[in-house]
Amino acid sequence: MYMMWLNFPGQPPQASTFSVEWDYLYYFLTALTIFFSALIFIVIFYFAIKYRRRDKNEVPPQNEGNLPLELTWTIIPTLICVFVFVWSAQLFIRASSPPASATEIFVVGKQWMWKIQHPEGPREINQLHVPVHVPIKLTMTSEDVIHDFGVPAFRIKRDVVPGMYTTEWFEATETGQFHLFCDQFCGMGHSTMVGTIFVMSQEDYARWLASQLNSKPMFVSGERLFQQLGCNTCHTPEGKTGVPPLEGLYGSEVKLQNGKTVVADDAYLRESILGPEAIVGYPPTMPTYQGQMDEEDVLQLIAYVKSLGPSGERKATKQ
Amino acid sequence: MPTDLRRPTLADAHLGAVPVAHQFDDFEQQTGADTFGMWLFLATEILFFGGLFCGYSLYRNLYFDAFTAGSHLIKVKYGAFYTVLLICSSLTMALGVRAAQLRRKNSLTIFLILTWIMGAAFVFIKLRYEWYGDYLEGLAPSLNWAPNHESMEMIQHFHATVPHVMLFFIFYFVMTGLHALHMVVGVGLLTTLLIFTRQGKVTGGNYNWVEIVGLYWHFVDIVWIFLFPLLYLIGGRYV
Amino acid sequence: MSTVAVEATPTLPEVHYLNADYGWRSWLFTTDHKRIAWLYLFAITGFFAVGGLMATLMRLNLVEPQGLLMQPSSYDKLFSAHGLIMIFFFLAPSIPTVLGNFLIPIMIGARDVAFPKLNLLSWYIFMTAGTVFMLAVIRGGVDTGWTFYTPLSTTYANGHVLSAAVGIFISGFSSILTGLNFVVTIHKMRAPGMTWFRLPLFIWALYATSVIFILAMPVIAITLALIALERVFHVGIFDPALGGDPVLFQHLFWFFGHPEVYILILPSMGVMSELVAAGCRKRIFGYSFVAFSSVAIAAISFMVWGHHMFLSGQSLYAGFVFSALTFAVAIPSAIKVFNWTATMHKASVSYDTPMLYAIGFIGLFTIGGLTGLFLGSLGTDIHLHDTYFVVAHFHYIMVGGAIMGYLGGLHLWWPKMTGKLYPEAWARFACLLIFAGFNLTFGPQFILGYMGMPRRYSVYPPEFQVLNVMSSAGASILALGYFIPLIYFTWSAFKGPIAGPNPWGAKGLEWTIPSPPPTNNFDETPIVTEEAYAYGPQEAHVG
């Protein structure tokens, strides 16, 4: 009990590049709040004392209002709002655009645990090991309800929604262990759907990766799944009539049947595997794989397709 | 009480003793409040249907092929017939309001009965023939969802997927169902109005009751005018 | 400086609405808006007690990081029921159905609302809804939070989601009918000479609230109907596995949900204007700005729902639009605060309990409103979203704003409702206790949120304990503060000194008739010839 008061909490750790930028805006808004609250409090107390009722029958002189004053306290808050809006929107854009060089890590939320996989293969549950000073992009989806992947020390948070991929990114600046919370209420185990982020020096991280035996890179597992599910009977390297070639597909532009053009990204591939007739630009000859694989399997397959492109450095496995 | 600040009252001028509730000063204030209340109720109704229209728009946009296929699976002849029926019933309802204003008790009765018949026919045909037919064809999600061979061909023709076509049918049943529920309420209101008319209460002064029920009736018809093209005519389908 | 005469030895009228008729039938079948207000007062006080008890248990559980009292599943049911009861069965009806029912006809010079029977029907619908919902709670509760997010509520939750949703669905119709009744009353029942710009600002605020009732409640009704459909038939409207979109639910829910927040605070702002005017004996500074800001808030409130969903995967551009509109809705609220403050300038400020609540409201609402900027800003919302910062923010608005306004209004009009005075010293003490307890409860939660503690957690990491203990200690003070008025109000209804028609020396039609008022309010329809709050001659006019 005594120790509790010694460590009186005031600020969460500032452990990412974004957390510093975020805190500046937070400090500004806090100062703004304190300033205006104090202003209102002081004025109210001053008026309440100076103009207190001295006689129970007194009526003060009346005052209808004052247009310049009204305009002043309409325009000044508006200007402050515009300023805050622009600043915070910029911050949001930065938080929503991971750098192209970011290392990708995959997250699947499930009642009530976080399943995480590194492209090199290692899988973790409720733990995430990352190297310091390297931008990390998280691609996330959920097996069941909506979850939310939040790391207070990095000031990042994003909903993890079933049926779609959401992303967030960070670049850790300090080594250590930090909280991972599920921030969207997801049922009985919500408050135990927590974990730890281990930020390690780059050498330690490399050592940690190497120590994860029995793990194959995601695209290798994806390739095996590709064969097990019989995908390679149609998706041959030579290409069959009406079957799209997978080499070089990832990142390329695909024309849909309704005439629109989309980029073949993670979401497109996921949709193509699970609900093929819906959006892809090919005759619906491929069966849906909805219900036959979980979100983690889909991620392996996407990793495999990704490894085949964009320049097609690898070739699809022959039958 | 100095009454000169009040607007002159229709009730005093034309009708003699018409019951005015204690909270109102005069008959005109009472009828004004009643009619305005119905307009506000219709505003609520618009938002009530609005939530469904939002969901419908989203999914129609996402799964246009499936919605086109679904639209081709329901019978446009019913939709067209309902549309004619409801437009005619709106006409007889409007004529009923006119008859009430002119205090013609017998022609009001006739117009109300005609409107009643068309409303009841709508509900009956919808339940007995259209919905029951859909049910037998295996097009009722959750209750009997097993599209037959022809339906599957239609779905494949539009490159649609079965779950998304099911989504269309959910919206079809929920939206037309909510509309049909309003029709049932409307037919009930017409029945009450008919009784009051025969008792002489309507032409005896409360003719605005017909106007209020009429507002409701026209609103329900207008909702159908939106539902018909949205559900039955997707993808330029006219036959 | 002119004066008003405050009566020296007031007496009770011989016949008034309370003693005009006796027996339980005269209450349960009454169509008198003043008696219906009492029916609501008893009902919502009961709901407030239940919701408050749940809050107390939650705060008690959070004293220990591992949970002092209960399993997580029980905690989930507690916070879900606490939110739903407080929002749908206490706060939303509080000011409109108690103070609004009692005062709207009197303030505009009418004998009753436009549809008295509909008014009674609304109460019965409300009680039916409350019964259905409470049965769901007793039979095992609902564990989805008050937001019913899909697919948790439709597929995964084990609680009595269906019957709880039915309860809320029914309560929506009670609110719709009340709103409809009020709007028609304000449009059609005003006394001769009571023009729109002579209306008390309380009426403006309730008018805006009623419009939101009419336009927002049907959306939640149809959304809950879809939830029920999905839960019973598993048809896939919100299920991604079947092609449905779980985020569509959030759009529909918050299209209702954010206007709902203004349903809770707008009436309280209306009460504030009355408290400040009566407490200062002054016309509200910038009357038309305060009046139009209510309408502006109601209008913009329908266009900001997406600010609850910045992180839910909606597009970046939607986020920009919703964030900008959120800032736009902040401006009218700021205008109100500045105008109330300016009204106190050169006023005759009383230290009676209603004015103390008014001062407390202005302070707490300012903090609540400004911390809303943190959450309406796209960037800062990232870290604070779904943390205790959100909890603290909306409690500053809901409890520090809405409940302070409700209690302040109850203290101002209690003498009118009962004809009796309450013990002023006790009332002031309770007000200060509530103010102190409130700040101790919810102030630390801002820091907790910044530290990153997520909301709806029944267990939490140990470093958050000290702030949680502070918050729980504050909650016990707050609970005591709410208990005291219950006792002295009950005492005063029976034994309190006689108030007289106008104990505050305030302006307004309600203060011109006896306390308690006669059943028909006015023996003769009043003719209004002056502005609202006409305490004396005007010195300056706004351009």
CA-based nearest residue to C420, from C15, C38, C13: C13
* Residue A268 banded pLDDT, cuts 50, 70, 90: confident
Residue type, A276: P
pLDDT band at C538 (very low <50, low <70, confident <90, very high): low
Which chain C residues have a beta carbon less than 8 Å from that of B47?
Answer: 214-216, 218-219
Question: Do C188 and C154 contact (CB within 8 A), yes or no?
Answer: no
CA pair distance A37, A45, nearest whole angstrom: 12
pLDDT number for residue C356? 96
Chain C closest-CA separation from residue B30 CA (Å)? 8
Q: Which of B58, B153, B161 to mutate to test the interface with A (most CBs of A within 10 A)?
A: B161
pLDDT tens sequence across B88-114: 999 999 999 999 988 889 999 999 999
Directed axis angle between helix A67-96 and helix A17-50, to 10°?
A: 160
Q: Once rounded to an integer, what is the mean pLDDT over residues C454-467?
A: 93
Confidence category of residue B2, pLDDT binned at 50, 70, 90: very low
pLDDT of residue C539: 53
Q: Which of residues 83-112 of A touch C (CB under 8 A)?
A: 84-85, 87-93, 95-96, 111
Question: From the CA of C98, how many Å to the nearest CA of chain B?
Answer: 19
Query: For C262-310, what is each residue's pLDDT tens digit?
Result: 999 999 999 999 999 999 999 999 999 999 999 999 999 999 999 999 9
- pLDDT score for C523: 87
Q: Is the pLDDT of residue C239 over 90?
A: no
How high is the pLDDT of residue A3?
Answer: 53
Q: Which of B31, B52, B170 to mutate to test the interface with C (most CBs of C within 10 A)?
A: B170
Rounded to whole angstroms, the Cα distance separating B185 from C309 reads: 38
pLDDT of residue B39: 96
Picking from B1, B22, B48, the nearest residue to C111 by CB comes out as: B22
In single-letter form, the type of residue at position C520 comes to N
Contact with chain C for residue A173, Cβ under 8 A: no
| pLDDT for residue A290 is more than 50 | yes
Q: How far apart are CA C320 and CA C302, in angstroms?
A: 16
Report ipTM for this prediction. 0.91
Q: Provide the residue count of chain A.
A: 319
Q: Which residues contact C164 (CB under 8 A, 6 or more apart)?
A: C84, C133, C136, C137, C142
Closest partner residue to B40 among C180, C226, C229, by Cβ? C180
Mean model confidence pLDDT for chain A: 86
Tell me the pLDDT band of C413, cut-offs 50, 70 and 90: very high
- The mean of the pLDDT values for chain C is 92
Mean pLDDT of A31-41: 95
Chain C partners of A61 at a C-beta cutoff of 8 Å? 1, 346, 536, 539
Q: Say yes or no for a CB contact (<8 Å) between C243 and B50.
A: no
Confidence (pLDDT) at C114? 95
CA distance linking residue A128 with residue A117, whole number of Å: 9
**Yes or no, beta carbons of A257 and B159 under 8 Å apart:** yes
- Determine the Cα–Cα distance for residues C49 and A27; give it in Å rounded to an integer: 38
Distance of residue B88 Cα from the nearest chain A Cα, in angstroms:
39
- Using an 8 Å CB-CB cutoff, list chain C residues near A41: 363, 366
- Residue C241: its pLDDT value, please? 80
Looking at residues B70-89, what average pLDDT do you find? 93
**Chain B residues within an 8 Å CB radius of C226:** 51, 55, 174
Over 90: is that where the pLDDT of A282 sits? no
For residues A312 and C220, which has the higher predicted lDDT (pLDDT)?
C220
β-partners of residue A105 are A138
pLDDT tens digits, residue range C45-102? 999 999 999 999 999 999 999 998 888 889 999 999 999 999 999 999 999 999 999 9
- Lowest mean pLDDT across A274-278, B185-189, C18-22: A274-278
**Residue A107, SS3?**
strand
In DSSP terms, C453 is beta-bridged to none
Q: Using the beta-carbon criterion (under 8 Å), do C289 and A77 form an inter-chain contact?
A: no
Contacting residues of C for A25, CB less than 8 Å apart: 377, 379-380
- One-letter amino acid for residue C314 of the chain: Q
Q: Are B193 and B202 in contact (CB under 8 A)?
A: yes
Query: Of the given ranges (A155-164, A278-287, C249-258), which has the lowest mean pLDDT?
Result: A278-287
The pLDDT score that the predictor gives to residue C1 is 43
- φ, ψ (nearest 5 deg) of residue B119: -65, -45
- CA distances to A134, A136, A269 from A98, rounded to whole Å, are 12, 8, 20
Partner-chain contact A275 B64, CB within 8 Å: no
- The yes-or-no verdict on residue A86 having pLDDT over 60 is yes
Task: Kindly indicate the confidence band of residue C5, based on its pLDDT and cuts at 50, 70 and 90.
Answer: low
Report the percentage of chain A scoring pLDDT > 70.
88
d(CA C187, CA C190): 7
Task: Give how far B64 is from chain A: nearest CA, Å.
Answer: 9
Which residues partner with A110 through β-bridges?
A: A113
Of A277, A283, A288, the CB nearest to B160: A277
**Residue A255 is inside which H or E element, if any?**
strand A253-255
Of A258, A275, A283, the CB nearest to B161: A275
- B193: amino acid identity, one letter: L
- The yes-or-no verdict on residue B16 having pLDDT over 50 is no
Which residue is closest to C211 within chain B, CA to CA? B40
What's the confidence (pLDDT) of residue A4?
52
Q: Chain C closest CA to B58's CA: distance in Å?
A: 8
The residue of chain A nearest to residue B65, with distances taken between CA atoms, is A278
Residue A47 has pLDDT above 70, yes or no: yes
CA angle, B168 then B179 then C223, to 5°: 65
Element (H, E) at A105: strand A103-110
Contact: A284, B164; criterion CB under 8 Å: no
pLDDT digits (tens, 9 = 90+) for B53-77: 999 998 998 888 889 999 999 999 9
A285 pLDDT exceeds 80? no
Question: How far apart (Å, rounded) are the C-alpha atoms in residues C304 and C255?
Answer: 8
Residue B11 pLDDT exceeds 50 = no
Using pLDDT thresholds of 50, 70 and 90, give the confidence band for residue A256. confident
pLDDT for residue B180 is more than 90: yes
Q: Which residues of A touch B156 (CB under 8 A)?
A: 284
CA distances (Å), C273 to each of B112, B217, C346, C356, C528, in order? 50, 42, 17, 13, 20
Residue in this structure with the two tokens 């248990």, named with its chain if needed: C57
- Please report which helix (H) or strand (E) contains residue A261, including its range: strand A261-263
How far A285 CA lies from chain B's nearest CA (Å)?
Answer: 10
**A99 token code pair:** 């750098």
A196 has a chain B CB within 8 A of its CB: no
Mutating which of B40, B58, B178, B181 best tests the C interface, going by the most C Cβ atoms within 10 A?
A: B40
pLDDT of residue B45: 95
Residues within 8 A of C (CB atoms), A 209-268 only: none
**Partners of residue A185 in chain C, C-beta under 8 Å:** 76, 144-145, 147, 149, 152, 455-456
pLDDT given for residue C121 in this prediction: 97
Could you give the CA distance from residue C509 to residue C274 in angstroms, rounded to a whole number?
A: 12
Contacts of C219 in chain B (CB under 8 A): 47-48, 50-51
Q: What is the pLDDT of residue B9?
A: 44
d(C-alpha C193, C-alpha C345), whole Å: 30
For the segment C503-528, the average pLDDT, to the nearest whole number, is 92
Q: What is the largest CA-CA distance in chain A?
A: 99
User: Is pLDDT of B8 > 70?
Assistant: no
CB C236, CB C244: distance < 8 Å: yes
pLDDT tens digit sequence for A91-132: 999 999 999 999 999 999 999 999 999 998 899 999 999 999
Rg for chain B (alpha carbons), in Å? 22
Mutating which of A141, A170, A191 best tests the C interface, going by the most C Cβ atoms within 10 A? A191
* HSE (side-chain half, CA atoms, 13 Å) at C99: 29
Beta strands in A111-242 (DSSP E): 113-117, 123-125, 127-131, 135-142, 147-151, 156-160, 166-171, 176-182, 195-200
Interface of C with B in 232-251 (CB under 8 A): 233-237, 242-245, 248, 251
Q: Are C98 and C41 in contact (CB under 8 A)?
A: yes
